């Protein structure tokens, strides 16, 4: 599943999933480095 980060690393993450759905995560466990 592809996830696209649309907000900064230190703010609540809003993620867009490949199926068109989006969700806002209240945790910052994942960073852009984790997606690489």
Q: What is the pLDDT of residues 1-36, one digit of tens each?
A: 566 655 555 555 666 667 766 666 655 556 666 665
Asked if residue 36 is part of any domain, the answer here is no
Asked if residue 11 is part of any domain, the answer here is yes
Asked if residue 34 is part of any domain, the answer here is no
**Domain extent for 10:** 3-27
User: Distance between CA atoms of 4 and 22, rounded to whole angstroms?
Assistant: 10
Partnered with residue 25 across adjacent β-strands are 13
Please give the tally of structural domains in the chain.
1
- CB neighbour list of residue 5: distance below 8 Å, 6 or more residues apart: 13, 14, 15, 32, 35
Asked if residue 15 is part of any domain, the answer here is yes
- CB neighbour list of residue 27: distance below 8 Å, 6 or more residues apart: 13
Report if pTM > 0.75.
Answer: no
User: Distance between CA atoms of 2 and 10, rounded to whole angstroms?
Assistant: 21
pLDDT reported for residue 28 = 54
Asked if residue 12 is part of any domain, the answer here is yes
Asked if residue 16 is part of any domain, the answer here is yes
pLDDT reported for residue 24 = 62
Asked if residue 22 is part of any domain, the answer here is yes
């Amino acid at each position: 599943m592809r996830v696209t980060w649309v907000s900064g690393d230190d703010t609540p993450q809003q993620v867009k999933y490949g199926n068109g759905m989006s969700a806002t995560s209240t945790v910052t466990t994942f960073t852009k480095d984790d997606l690489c």
